[in-house]
Amino acid sequence: MGEIRNAERTRKRILEAARKEFFEKGYTGARIEAIAVNADVKKQLIYHYFKGKEELLVAVLDQMTVELPEWTTQFPSDPVHTAEHRFQVNCQTRMDFLKFTVWEALEEQPQQNSRKKRRTEALQSYVDDMKSKQEAGLVPEDLDPELLTLAISALTTYPLIFGDVTKMVTGSEPTDPQFQEKWSKFLTKISARIFGKDDFMNE
Amino acid sequence: MGEIRNAERTRKRILEAARKEFFEKGYTGARIEAIAVNADVKKQLIYHYFKGKEELLVAVLDQMTVELPEWTTQFPSDPVHTAEHRFQVNCQTRMDFLKFTVWEALEEQPQQNSRKKRRTEALQSYVDDMKSKQEAGLVPEDLDPELLTLAISALTTYPLIFGDVTKMVTGSEPTDPQFQEKWSKFLTKISARIFGKDDFMNE
DNA sequence: AGTTATACTTGACAACTGTAAAGTTATAAC
DNA sequence: GTTATAACTTTACAGTTGTCAAGTATAACT
């Protein structure tokens, strides 16, 4: 009505609304109608820009991976700080995306092969990093690098994903910066113990 | 047709089919129709036994909590074995139920207050156990019992819930007994390090 | 000015889903 | 054996959801 036509802007608005909807409700739970309303667009217009629900999701995911900053793919030199670092990354780079990951694990989705490959590569790079640090003598010999990586994944995502558990156990919301700091320090502390740096246990 | 009428058996069949469906698909994802087919029953018959979808879920959940064995609510005396114990419990007491817990965390469900209360109590009992063990000198003073409990929750559920991550990182399925044993031992190992029992680090 | 490509709207529909209500058969009590 | 109750079936419906096809308005190009 009062707005001038603008294809690019409309497309972006749809994409943004779709991101929110998909990340909050998962694929099957997401409603095209809801996306349309949120983007202030007739829902049929979405089919003018995207072939369908699935392609829309793919578009959202593609844009996601383009946008993430470089520092997120770096590793700290000391394995003691690996967990803390990965936790910070998870906190910063859109927690809602993490939530979507969970749905991906549960729903039987249009398993994007390219997407699965990317995830595998990312995880494998964590394992490789851990292995190299073990060879450098920074990680105890008797701890399996793969299992360590899995453990770190667990510790750096679980409290954020299962906000209700975090709330029930600690009383804080996982979005609370105070909790995030406490958890960061905690991760460093137990990392120090696990990796055998007993001299790190100050503060 | 060839079957004799039997209310109790039919009810059980519906409940069993509902359990599978709910645990695998979540509340919104679960289909009454699918439950009916799986129970070999006309779907309208379900409404003869239960008021509706929600009550059916409640019935399933109620029966669940009745059925679980006592040993699952006990705690090992040594905190070093707490993680391992909780992991074993999670492995044994129907992994599909764990999956349902995840859906509960994501979906905005008919948040059964009684159910939430039970969960809170269970988690709080873990915290209390950890606290008492800290007071007994079995847990380092500088580690927050609440955060420790949260960490243990993460470590004992994450690999089971996110089977795809486990697969991508370790190459094994989380249902693989071999993996479960490896992870059990790993949990004990890092627990020993975290809790400062360096003498426990034999095999 | 007129053709055309593109942005957007309208109307419709077919599949699916939870649920109600009425109808039908078997079982058990009298 | 009649009857009441409970087990099961059939028919039906209203709401939702993804998608299509056809129409209209606007901007761009010739």
Predicted TM-score of the model (pTM): 0.87
Q: Do the Cβ atoms of A187 and A155 come closer than 8 Å?
A: yes
Answer yes or no: are the C-beta atoms of B149 and B168 closer than 8 Å. Answer: no
Taking only the tens place, the pLDDT of each residue in B60-88 is 998 888 888 877 788 999 999 999 999 99
Q: What does chain A look like in DSSP terms, one character per residue?
A: --SPP-HHHHHHHHHHHHHHHHHHHHHHH--HHHHHHHHTS-HHHHHHHSSSHHHHHHHHHHHHHHH--GGGG---SSGGGHHHHHHHHHHHS-HHHHHHHHHHHHS-----HHHHHHHHHHHHHHHHHHHHHHHTTSS-TTS-HHHHHHHHHHHHHHHHH-HHHHHHHHSS-TT-HHHHHHHHHHHHHHHHHHTT-GGG---
Least confident of A172-181, B37-46, B182-191: B37-46
Cross-chain Cβ contact A201/B142 below 8 Å = yes
Tokens of B79: 């905190």
Cβ of residue B143 closer than 8 Å to a chain A Cβ: yes
Query: How far is it, in rounded angstroms, from Cα A189 to Cα A182?
Result: 11
Nearest CA in chain A to B101: A162
Tell if the CB–CB gap between A154 and B150 is shorter than 8 Å. Answer: no
Domain spanning B1-65, CATH architecture? Orthogonal Bundle (1.10)
Per CB-CB distance under 8 Å, the chain B contacts of A151 are 155, 186, 190
Residue B164 contacts residue A103 (beta carbons within 8 Å): no
Instruction: Tell me if chain A has a CB within 8 Å of the CB of B108.
Output: no
CB distance A156 to A88 below 8 Å = no
The residue type found at B57 is L
Which residue of A168, A170, A182 is the best one to mutate when testing the B interface, meaning the one whose CB has the most B CBs within 10 A? A168
Domain range B68-195, CATH architecture: Orthogonal Bundle (1.10)
Instruction: Show the tokens assigned to A123.
Output: 């995880």
Q: A191: distance to nearest CA of chain B, Å?
A: 8
A39 touches A92 (CB < 8 A): no
Taking chain A (203 residues) in consecutive chunks of 10 residues, what is each chunk's mean pLDDT? 69 92 91 90 91 90 82 89 96 88 81 82 96 95 97 97 95 97 98 76 42
The whole-number pLDDT of residue B2 equals 42
Task: Tell me the C-alpha distance between B20 and B96, whole Å.
Answer: 8
Count of other CB atoms within 10 angstroms of residue B44: 9
Interface contacts A/B by beta carbons within 8 Å: 126
Q: Two tokens at A10?
A: 């409309």
Say whether the CB atom of B168 is under 7 angstroms from strand D.
no
> What residues does each domain of chain B span?
1-65, 68-195
Residue B109: what pLDDT?
Answer: 67
Asked, colleague to colleague, whether A1-65 and A68-195 share their fold, the answer is: yes
The SS3 of residue B113 is helix
